[in-house]
C-alpha cells in the first residue's frame, strides 16, 4: 500500500502517538557522569577547559554524589587530576591507596553507598611524560604497562570501585586485569574496557582539564585510526574473549556506526562516550540559548541510544537528568 492510502504522518500526529511509537527512550539511569578528582582535601573548583565541570574531593565530592543519586544518576566515572609534583615517571599514585581516585571512591561510597563507581585506569593522568603506558627507549612498552596496571586495578577494587575501566588500549589489558583481580579475590569487580577508542582530536578539553597532555602524542600507536571499523570490531571481540563484562566505544559523535555494528555483532552491554570535544561543540552549537542546549542534548543522547548504546557516558548527565525528570 502506498500514498494516498498510506500516510506516514499519521504516526506523528500527536504527542501521545509520537510517544507510543518512539523506538528508544532516554532515562537518567542510562547515564554515567564523569567526575574529576584530586588528592587536595575538600576541593570544589571549576575545570577551565570544560565549562560547568568541577574538580572535586572530600566533602564537596560526597555532596555531589548524593545530589546525583537524587537526580537519578546512578553511576559515575572517576578521573584523576594530579598536581605536577605528584606525577612520577611510572605513575606511582595510580596504584596507591592514597591516589586521588582511591580516596574519591572511599568518600563517595561512605556518603552514597548505592552509587556505582567506575574507575578510569590509564597511566597518562599520573605520569610525568603523560603517555598512556611506560616509555622504554622512546616507545610505549605494552607488556610492562600491563604489569603496572595490574596492581592499580587491584587497589581501585580494594578502595571499593565497582567497575574498572582501562582506557589505554594496551593489548591484553583485559586478560591481565581480570587475572590480577581474580588472584586478589576481587571476582566481583567488573571490567569495562574502552574497547574501541579512537585517536580522535575531540579529547583536547579533557587533556587540558586533566593536565595529562603528553609533549608529543603517541596516541596513534595504541588508539584506533578513525578510518577503521573492522579493526574496532576485532578489538571488541578480543576484549570480550579476555573477559570484558561491558565495553566502551569512544567518541560517540562520528563513531555511531561503530556502536551500531558492535550492537549487531556482540551481546555485551555497550557504553558510548560523548567526549569533551563533543561537550564543547554542543555548547557552541546552542549559542548560549539554554532551551536550545537542552533540546540539543536530548537529541544527541537519543541518537546515541538509537545507534545501539545501552549506556552513555556524558558530561551533560546532570542537566539531561533534570530535563528528563520534568
- The residue ranges that bind ligand PBG (CB under 6 A) are 120, 122, 124-125, 167, 203, 206-207, 275-276
129 or 162: CB nearest Zn ion: 129
CB 214, min distance to Zn ion, A: 9
Distance CA 276, CA 213 (A): 14
Q: E strands of 128-233, at which residues?
A: 135-136, 139-140, 163-166, 190-191, 196-197
Distance CA 43, CA 187 (A): 33
67 CB neighbour count, 10 Å cutoff: 12
> Would you count residue 224 as binding Zn ion (CB under 5 A)?
no
> Would you count residue 132 as binding Zn ion (CB under 5 A)?
yes
Helix axes 230-242, 173-183, angle to 10 degrees: 20
Q: Is 109 a catalytic residue?
A: no
184: which 3 cell numbers?
A: 586478589
**Nearest CA among 155, 131, 282 for reference residue 164:** 155
Number of residues that bind Zn ion (CB under 5 A): 4
CB 174, min distance to ligand PBG, A: 16
The stretch among 1-9, 129-137, 252-260, 272-280 that binds Zn ion (CB under 5 A) is: 129-137
215 φ, ψ (degrees, to nearest 5): -55, -40
Q: Is 250 a catalytic residue?
A: yes
275 or 324: CB nearest ligand PBG: 275
β pairing state of 116-121 and 75-80 = parallel
Identify whether the C-beta of residue 120 lies closer than 8 Å to the C-beta of residue 75: no
For the chain, what percentages of helix, strand and coil (3-state, to nearest 5) are there? 45, 15, 40
58 or 193: CB nearest ligand PBG: 193
107 or 167: CB nearest ligand PBG: 167
Residue 207 interacting entry, from ligand PBG, Zn ion, none, C-beta within 5 to 8 Å by type: ligand PBG
CB 288, min distance to ligand PBG, A: 22
62 or 168: CB nearest ligand PBG: 168
Of 87, 197, 207, 305, the active-site residue reads: 197
Contact with Zn ion (CB under 5 A) among 61, 117, 124, 304: 124
Residues 155-184 contacting Zn ion, CB under 5 A: 168
- Asked whether the bond before 4 is cis by omega within 30 degrees of 0, the reply is yes
> Would you count residue 122 as binding Zn ion (CB under 5 A)?
yes
Of 109, 207, 250, 305, the active-site residue reads: 250
For binding to Zn ion (CB under 5 A), which residues are involved?
A: 122, 124, 132, 168
Active site members: 197, 250
Amino acid at each position: 500500500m502506498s500514498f494516498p492510502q498510506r500516510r506516514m504522518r499519521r504516526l506523528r500526529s500527536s504527542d501521545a502517538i509520537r510517544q507510543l511509537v518512539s523506538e528508544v527512550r532516554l532515562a537518567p539511569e542510562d547515564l554515567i557522569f564523569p567526575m574529576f578528582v584530586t588528592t587536595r582535601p575538600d576541593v570544589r573548583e571549576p575545570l577551565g577547559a570544560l565549562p560547568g565541570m568541577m574538580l572535586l574531593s572530600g566533602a564537596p565530592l560526597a555532596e555531589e554524589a548524593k545530589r546525583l543519586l537524587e537526580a537519578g544518576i546512578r553511576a559515575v566515572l572517576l578521573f584523576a587530576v594530579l598536581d605536577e609534583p605528584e606525577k612520577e615517571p611510572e605513575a606511582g599514585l595510580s596504584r596507591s591507596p592514597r591516589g586521588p581516585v582511591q580516596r574519591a571512591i572511599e568518600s563517595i561510597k561512605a556518603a552514597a553507598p548505592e552509587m556505582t563507581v567506575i574507575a578510569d585506569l590509564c597511566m597518562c593522568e599520573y605520569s610525568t611524560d603523560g603517555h598512556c603506558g611506560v616509555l622504554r627507549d622512546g616507545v610505549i612498552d605494552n607488556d610492562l604497562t600491563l604489569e603496572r596496571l595490574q596492581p592499580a586495578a587491584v587497589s581501585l577494587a580494594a578502595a571499593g570501585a565497582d567497575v574498572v575501566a582501562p582506557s589505554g588500549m594496551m593489548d591484553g589489558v583485559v586478560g591481565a586485569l581480570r587475572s590480577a583481580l581474580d588472584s586478589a579475590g576481587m571476582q566481583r569487580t567488573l571490567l569495562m574496557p574502552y574497547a574501541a577508542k579512537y585517536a580522535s582530536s575531540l579529547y583536547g578539553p579533557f587533556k587540558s582539564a586533566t593536565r595529562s597532555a603528553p609533549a608529543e602524542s603517541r596516541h596513534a600507536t595504541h588508539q584506533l585510526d578513525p578510518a577503521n571499523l573492522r579493526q574496532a570490531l576485532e578489538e571488541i571481540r578480543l576484549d570480550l574473549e579476555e573477559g570484558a563484562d561491558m565495553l566502551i566505544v569512544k567518541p560517540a559523535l562520528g563513531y555511531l556506526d561503530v556502536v551500531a555494528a558492535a550492537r549487531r555483532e556482540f551481546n555485551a552491554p555497550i557504553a558510548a562516550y560523548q567526549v569533551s570535544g563533543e561537550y564543547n561543540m554542543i555548547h557552541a552549537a546552542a549559542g548560549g540559548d539554554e532551551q536550545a542546549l537542552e533540546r540539543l542534548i536530548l537529541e544527541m543522547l537519543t541518537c546515541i541510544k538509537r545507534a545501539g548504546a545501552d549506556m552513555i557516558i556524558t558530561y551533560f548527565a546532570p542537566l539531561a537528568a533534570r530535563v528528563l525528570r520534568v
